[in-house]
Protein backbone atom coordinates (compact mmCIF):
# COMPACT_ATOMS: atom_id res chain seq x y z
CA UNK A 1 0.00 0.00 0.00
CA UNK A 2 1.48 3.41 -0.93
CA UNK A 3 2.21 5.75 1.97
CA UNK A 4 -0.40 8.55 2.14
CA UNK A 5 1.10 12.06 2.35
CA UNK A 6 -0.11 15.65 2.40
CA UNK A 7 2.42 18.14 1.05
CA UNK A 8 2.35 21.75 2.31
CA UNK A 9 4.18 24.00 -0.14
CA UNK A 10 5.24 27.59 -0.89
CA UNK A 11 5.85 26.82 -4.54
CA UNK A 12 8.99 27.94 -5.72
CA UNK A 13 11.07 25.82 -8.00
CA UNK A 14 12.18 23.14 -5.56
CA UNK A 15 8.68 22.80 -4.09
CA UNK A 16 7.53 22.08 -7.65
CA UNK A 17 10.00 19.20 -8.00
CA UNK A 18 8.83 17.89 -4.60
CA UNK A 19 5.19 18.01 -5.77
CA UNK A 20 6.00 16.13 -8.99
CA UNK A 21 7.98 13.48 -7.12
CA UNK A 22 5.34 13.02 -4.40
CA UNK A 23 2.54 12.93 -6.97
CA UNK A 24 4.10 10.39 -9.30
CA UNK A 25 6.28 8.06 -7.20
CA UNK A 26 4.51 4.68 -6.78
CA UNK A 27 5.54 4.47 -3.10
CA UNK A 28 3.39 7.49 -2.21
CA UNK A 29 -0.24 8.52 -2.48
CA UNK A 30 -0.37 12.33 -2.58
CA UNK A 31 -3.75 12.89 -0.92
CA UNK A 32 -3.77 16.69 -1.16
CA UNK A 33 -1.56 19.76 -1.43
CA UNK A 34 -1.94 22.71 0.95
CA UNK A 35 -0.35 26.03 0.06
CA UNK A 36 1.20 28.74 2.23
CA UNK A 37 2.88 32.13 1.92
CA UNK A 38 6.68 31.92 1.95
CA UNK A 39 8.86 32.10 -1.15
CA UNK A 40 6.26 34.50 -2.47
CA UNK A 41 2.88 35.93 -1.47
CA UNK A 42 0.13 33.29 -1.30
CA UNK A 43 -1.38 34.42 -4.61
CA UNK A 44 1.89 33.56 -6.37
CA UNK A 45 2.64 30.32 -4.49
CA UNK A 46 -0.92 29.17 -5.17
CA UNK A 47 -0.78 30.07 -8.88
CA UNK A 48 2.59 28.31 -9.22
CA UNK A 49 1.22 25.23 -7.45
CA UNK A 50 -1.85 25.03 -9.71
CA UNK A 51 0.37 25.43 -12.78
CA UNK A 52 2.62 22.56 -11.69
CA UNK A 53 -0.32 20.31 -10.76
CA UNK A 54 -1.96 20.74 -14.16
CA UNK A 55 1.13 20.65 -16.40
CA UNK A 56 2.63 17.86 -14.29
CA UNK A 57 -0.30 15.46 -14.69
CA UNK A 58 -1.63 15.90 -11.14
CA UNK A 59 -4.84 17.83 -11.85
CA UNK A 60 -6.87 15.16 -10.00
CA UNK A 61 -5.28 15.99 -6.63
CA UNK A 62 -7.03 18.71 -4.58
CA UNK A 63 -5.18 21.93 -3.71
CA UNK A 64 -6.14 24.04 -0.67
CA UNK A 65 -5.08 27.65 -0.17
CA UNK A 66 -3.81 28.45 3.32
CA UNK A 67 -2.17 31.22 5.33
CA UNK A 68 -1.43 34.57 3.73
CA UNK A 69 1.17 35.60 6.27
CA UNK A 70 3.26 34.47 9.25
CA UNK A 71 1.62 34.23 12.69
CA UNK A 72 3.47 37.16 14.24
CA UNK A 73 6.38 38.56 12.26
CA UNK A 74 6.35 40.43 8.95
CA UNK A 75 7.02 38.41 5.79
CA UNK A 76 10.78 38.15 5.34
CA UNK A 77 12.34 39.49 2.12
CA UNK A 78 12.93 36.92 -0.63
CA UNK A 79 15.03 36.83 -3.75
CA UNK A 80 13.15 37.74 -6.94
CA UNK A 81 13.67 34.21 -8.36
CA UNK A 82 11.87 32.78 -5.34
CA UNK A 83 8.81 34.96 -5.92
CA UNK A 84 8.61 34.77 -9.70
CA UNK A 85 5.88 32.94 -11.57
CA UNK A 86 7.42 29.64 -12.62
CA UNK A 87 8.12 28.90 -16.31
CA UNK A 88 5.12 26.53 -16.44
CA UNK A 89 1.98 27.13 -18.53
CA UNK A 90 -0.93 28.92 -16.81
CA UNK A 91 -3.42 26.64 -15.10
CA UNK A 92 -7.21 26.40 -15.42
CA UNK A 93 -7.37 24.67 -12.03
CA UNK A 94 -8.76 26.36 -8.94
CA UNK A 95 -8.10 25.80 -5.24
CA UNK A 96 -10.77 23.99 -3.23
CA UNK A 97 -13.28 26.30 -1.52
CA UNK A 98 -12.26 25.09 1.97
CA UNK A 99 -9.33 26.86 3.68
CA UNK A 100 -6.25 24.63 4.05
CA UNK A 101 -6.41 24.81 7.86
CA UNK A 102 -10.04 23.70 7.89
CA UNK A 103 -9.16 20.90 5.49
CA UNK A 104 -6.21 19.71 7.62
CA UNK A 105 -8.38 19.60 10.77
CA UNK A 106 -11.21 17.70 9.06
CA UNK A 107 -8.83 15.31 7.28
CA UNK A 108 -6.75 14.42 10.34
CA UNK A 109 -9.85 13.89 12.50
CA UNK A 110 -11.19 11.67 9.71
CA UNK A 111 -10.67 7.97 8.91
CA UNK A 112 -7.30 8.30 7.13
CA UNK A 113 -5.64 10.88 9.36
CA UNK A 114 -3.55 8.45 11.38
CA UNK A 115 -2.08 6.89 8.24
CA UNK A 116 -1.08 10.13 6.48
CA UNK A 117 2.33 11.77 6.89
CA UNK A 118 2.26 15.56 6.81
CA UNK A 119 5.10 17.21 4.89
CA UNK A 120 5.60 20.96 5.30
CA UNK A 121 8.29 22.20 2.90
CA UNK A 122 7.67 25.91 3.48
CA UNK A 123 6.77 28.06 6.50
CA UNK A 124 4.72 25.99 8.96
CA UNK A 125 1.91 28.50 9.48
CA UNK A 126 -0.93 26.23 8.29
CA UNK A 127 -0.10 23.40 10.70
CA UNK A 128 0.49 25.83 13.59
CA UNK A 129 -2.98 27.31 13.06
CA UNK A 130 -4.53 23.82 12.77
CA UNK A 131 -2.87 22.69 16.02
CA UNK A 132 -4.08 25.77 17.89
CA UNK A 133 -7.64 25.36 16.56
CA UNK A 134 -7.78 21.57 17.11
CA UNK A 135 -5.27 20.22 19.69
CA UNK A 136 -6.54 16.67 19.09
CA UNK A 137 -4.45 16.63 15.90
CA UNK A 138 -1.44 15.82 18.11
CA UNK A 139 -2.92 12.36 18.67
CA UNK A 140 -3.85 11.92 14.99
CA UNK A 141 -0.85 12.96 12.87
CA UNK A 142 1.54 9.97 12.76
CA UNK A 143 4.63 11.92 11.70
CA UNK A 144 5.69 15.26 10.25
CA UNK A 145 8.55 15.07 7.74
CA UNK A 146 9.67 18.60 7.06
CA UNK A 147 12.27 20.45 5.06
CA UNK A 148 13.20 22.95 7.75
CA UNK A 149 16.07 24.33 9.72
CA UNK A 150 19.74 23.61 10.12
CA UNK A 151 21.74 22.55 13.16
CA UNK A 152 24.81 24.37 11.86
CA UNK A 153 24.54 27.42 9.56
CA UNK A 154 21.40 28.99 8.15
CA UNK A 155 20.87 30.14 4.56
CA UNK A 156 19.10 33.47 5.15
CA UNK A 157 21.12 34.53 8.18
CA UNK A 158 24.06 32.69 9.73
CA UNK A 159 21.50 31.38 12.25
CA UNK A 160 18.33 30.74 10.31
CA UNK A 161 17.05 28.65 7.43
CA UNK A 162 14.37 30.24 5.23
CA UNK A 163 11.30 28.11 6.12
CA UNK A 164 11.81 28.54 9.86
CA UNK A 165 12.77 32.22 9.67
CA UNK A 166 9.69 32.86 7.52
CA UNK A 167 7.53 31.96 10.55
CA UNK A 168 9.53 31.06 13.68
CA UNK A 169 6.47 31.07 15.96
CA UNK A 170 4.76 28.55 13.70
CA UNK A 171 7.82 26.31 13.76
CA UNK A 172 7.87 26.57 17.56
CA UNK A 173 4.22 25.43 17.75
CA UNK A 174 4.97 22.45 15.51
CA UNK A 175 8.31 21.42 17.07
CA UNK A 176 6.85 21.62 20.59
CA UNK A 177 3.64 19.75 19.69
CA UNK A 178 4.87 16.27 20.57
CA UNK A 179 4.09 14.93 17.08
CA UNK A 180 7.00 12.76 15.82
CA UNK A 181 9.13 14.90 13.51
CA UNK A 182 11.78 14.12 10.92
CA UNK A 183 13.71 17.32 10.22
CA UNK A 184 15.43 17.44 6.83
CA UNK A 185 17.65 20.49 7.23
CA UNK A 186 20.32 22.23 5.21
CA UNK A 187 23.04 19.79 6.30
CA UNK A 188 21.17 17.07 4.38
CA UNK A 189 20.00 19.12 1.39
CA UNK A 190 23.49 20.50 0.76
CA UNK A 191 24.79 16.93 0.42
CA UNK A 192 22.52 16.36 -2.60
CA UNK A 193 23.29 19.26 -4.94
CA UNK A 194 21.68 19.12 -8.35
CA UNK A 195 23.85 19.03 -11.49
CA UNK A 196 23.60 19.36 -15.26
CA UNK A 197 24.00 15.58 -15.44
CA UNK A 198 20.90 15.13 -13.26
CA UNK A 199 19.02 17.61 -15.44
CA UNK A 200 19.97 15.72 -18.59
CA UNK A 201 19.02 12.31 -17.14
CA UNK A 202 15.73 13.70 -15.86
CA UNK A 203 14.84 15.36 -19.17
CA UNK A 204 15.64 12.12 -21.02
CA UNK A 205 12.93 10.32 -19.01
CA UNK A 206 10.58 12.04 -21.45
CA UNK A 207 7.43 12.36 -19.30
CA UNK A 208 5.74 15.76 -18.86
CA UNK A 209 6.57 15.74 -15.14
CA UNK A 210 10.22 14.90 -15.84
CA UNK A 211 10.59 17.66 -18.41
CA UNK A 212 9.06 20.27 -16.09
CA UNK A 213 11.31 19.08 -13.25
CA UNK A 214 14.37 19.21 -15.53
CA UNK A 215 13.58 22.77 -16.56
CA UNK A 216 13.07 23.86 -12.96
CA UNK A 217 16.22 22.14 -11.74
CA UNK A 218 18.26 23.88 -14.44
CA UNK A 219 16.71 27.15 -13.24
CA UNK A 220 17.89 26.34 -9.68
CA UNK A 221 21.40 25.54 -10.94
CA UNK A 222 21.60 28.79 -12.94
CA UNK A 223 20.34 31.00 -10.12
CA UNK A 224 22.52 29.49 -7.39
CA UNK A 225 25.60 29.63 -9.64
CA UNK A 226 24.99 33.26 -10.73
CA UNK A 227 23.98 34.68 -7.34
CA UNK A 228 25.75 32.53 -4.78
CA UNK A 229 28.45 30.77 -6.75
CA UNK A 230 27.38 27.42 -5.33
CA UNK A 231 25.57 24.29 -6.56
CA UNK A 232 21.79 24.42 -6.75
CA UNK A 233 19.76 22.43 -4.25
CA UNK A 234 16.31 20.89 -4.60
CA UNK A 235 15.74 21.20 -0.85
CA UNK A 236 12.11 20.09 -0.65
CA UNK A 237 12.48 16.97 -2.81
CA UNK A 238 14.95 15.64 -0.21
CA UNK A 239 12.14 15.53 2.36
CA UNK A 240 9.86 13.66 -0.07
CA UNK A 241 12.61 11.14 -0.84
CA UNK A 242 13.11 10.59 2.89
CA UNK A 243 9.49 9.35 3.06
CA UNK A 244 9.78 7.23 -0.10
CA UNK A 245 12.92 5.51 1.20
CA UNK A 246 13.66 6.34 4.88
CA UNK A 247 16.98 4.47 4.63
CA UNK A 248 18.19 7.23 2.28
CA UNK A 249 18.66 9.65 5.16
CA UNK A 250 20.60 8.99 8.34
CA UNK A 251 19.00 10.80 11.29
CA UNK A 252 19.88 11.36 14.93
CA UNK A 253 17.33 12.11 17.69
CA UNK A 254 17.89 15.63 18.99
CA UNK A 255 16.15 18.25 21.08
CA UNK A 256 15.35 21.10 18.70
CA UNK A 257 14.08 24.44 19.99
CA UNK A 258 13.25 27.47 17.86
CA UNK A 259 14.87 30.78 18.77
CA UNK A 260 12.24 33.53 18.72
CA UNK A 261 14.03 36.46 20.34
CA UNK A 262 17.67 36.91 19.32
CA UNK A 263 18.64 39.92 17.29
CA UNK A 264 21.08 37.77 15.33
CA UNK A 265 19.58 34.34 16.00
CA UNK A 266 15.79 34.59 15.48
CA UNK A 267 14.57 31.58 13.51
CA UNK A 268 17.46 29.31 14.49
CA UNK A 269 16.69 25.63 15.05
CA UNK A 270 18.77 25.27 18.20
CA UNK A 271 19.68 21.58 18.27
CA UNK A 272 21.31 19.57 21.05
CA UNK A 273 23.55 17.89 18.47
CA UNK A 274 25.85 16.08 20.88
CA UNK A 275 23.04 15.04 23.27
CA UNK A 276 25.15 16.34 26.17
CA UNK A 277 22.29 18.50 27.41
CA UNK A 278 20.18 15.38 28.00
CA UNK A 279 16.96 17.07 26.98
CA UNK A 280 14.32 14.66 25.62
CA UNK A 281 14.57 14.58 21.82
CA UNK A 282 11.62 16.00 19.85
CA UNK A 283 12.97 15.41 16.35
CA UNK A 284 14.87 12.92 14.24
CA UNK A 285 17.33 15.27 12.56
CA UNK A 286 18.87 14.39 9.20
CA UNK A 287 22.66 14.29 9.24
CA UNK A 288 23.44 12.44 6.00
CA UNK A 289 21.77 11.60 2.68
CA UNK A 290 22.87 9.05 0.08
CA UNK A 291 23.01 11.37 -2.96
CA UNK A 292 23.09 8.64 -5.59
CA UNK A 293 20.11 6.82 -4.10
CA UNK A 294 18.26 10.13 -3.73
CA UNK A 295 18.52 10.91 -7.43
CA UNK A 296 17.61 7.32 -8.34
CA UNK A 297 14.41 7.81 -6.32
CA UNK A 298 13.82 11.05 -8.25
CA UNK A 299 14.27 9.31 -11.62
CA UNK A 300 12.03 6.41 -10.53
CA UNK A 301 9.35 8.87 -9.50
CA UNK A 302 9.45 11.07 -12.59
CA UNK A 303 9.80 8.28 -15.16
O1 LIG B 1 15.71 26.96 2.82
C2 LIG B 1 15.14 26.16 1.81
C3 LIG B 1 13.68 26.39 1.70
O4 LIG B 1 13.49 27.74 1.30
C5 LIG B 1 13.00 25.53 0.62
O6 LIG B 1 11.74 25.10 1.10
C7 LIG B 1 12.83 26.46 -0.55
O8 LIG B 1 11.59 26.22 -1.22
C9 LIG B 1 12.83 27.83 0.06
O10 LIG B 1 11.51 28.16 0.33
CA1 LIG C 1 9.66 25.47 -0.11
Give the ligand at the shortest distance from the Cα of 38: 1
Residue among 84, 157, 163 to mutate when testing ligand 1 (max atoms within 8 A of CB)? 163
- Please tell me if the CB atom of residue 121 comes closer than 6 angstroms to any atom of ligand 1: yes
- Segment 171-192, tens digit of pLDDT: 999 999 999 999 999 999 999 9
Q: What is the pLDDT of residues 88-111, one digit of tens each?
A: 999 999 999 999 999 999 999 999
pLDDT at 191: 98
Does 271 sit in the ligand 1 pocket, CB within 6 Å? no
pLDDT at position 141 is 99
Q: Which domains does the chain have, with CATH numbers?
A: 3-302 (3.90.245.10)
Residue whose CA is at the smallest distance from ligand 1 atom 10: 39
What does the pLDDT average to over 6-22?
A: 98
Q: Are 126 and 133 in contact (CB under 8 A)?
A: no
Specify the ligand 1 atom closest to the Cα of 121. Answer: 6
Q: Which atom number of ligand 1 is nearest to the Cα of residue 39?
A: 10
Q: How far apart are CA 9 and CA 6, in angstroms?
A: 10
Q: Does 163 contact ligand 1 (Cβ within 6 A)?
A: yes
CA 51, 183, 259, 64 dihedral sign is: positive
- Residue 8 known to be catalytic: no
Give the integer Cα–Cα distance in Å for 121 and 43: 17
Shortest-distance ligand to the CA of residue 235:
1
Neighbours of 77 (CB within 10 A): 8
- Mean pLDDT (the chain) is 97
Atom of ligand 1 nearest to the CA of 189: 2
| Structure confidence at residue 278 (pLDDT) | 82
User: Would the pLDDT of 40 be above 90?
Assistant: yes
What does the pLDDT look like over 132-143, one tens digit per residue? 999 999 999 999
Give the residue ranges of DSSP H helices in 135-249.
137-140, 162-166, 168-175, 186-189, 196-203, 208-228, 235-244
| pLDDT of 80 above 90 | no
The closest ligand to the CA of 161 turns out to be 1
- Which pLDDT score is estimated for 124? 98
Q: How confident is the model at residue 8 (pLDDT cuts 50, 70, 90)?
A: very high
Is the CB of 187 within 6 Å of ligand 1? no
User: Residue 82: which pLDDT band, with cuts at 50, 70 and 90?
Assistant: confident
Provide the angle, in degrees to the nearest 10, between the axes of the packed helices 208-228 and 196-203: 170
Q: Using CA atoms in the order 269, 275, 277, 279, what is the torsion angle rounded to 10 degrees?
A: 70
What percent of the chain is predicted at pLDDT more than 70? 100
The per-residue pLDDT for 73 is 86
Amino acid sequence: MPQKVILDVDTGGDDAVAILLAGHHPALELVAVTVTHGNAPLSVTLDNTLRVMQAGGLAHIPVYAGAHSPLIGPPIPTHRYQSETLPVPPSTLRAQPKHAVEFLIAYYLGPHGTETIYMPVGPQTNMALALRLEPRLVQRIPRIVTMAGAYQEGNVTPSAEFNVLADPEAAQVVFSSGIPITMIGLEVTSQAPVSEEVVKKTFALGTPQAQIAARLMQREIDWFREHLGVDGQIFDACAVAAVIDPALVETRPMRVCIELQGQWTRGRTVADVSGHHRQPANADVGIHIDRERFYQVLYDGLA
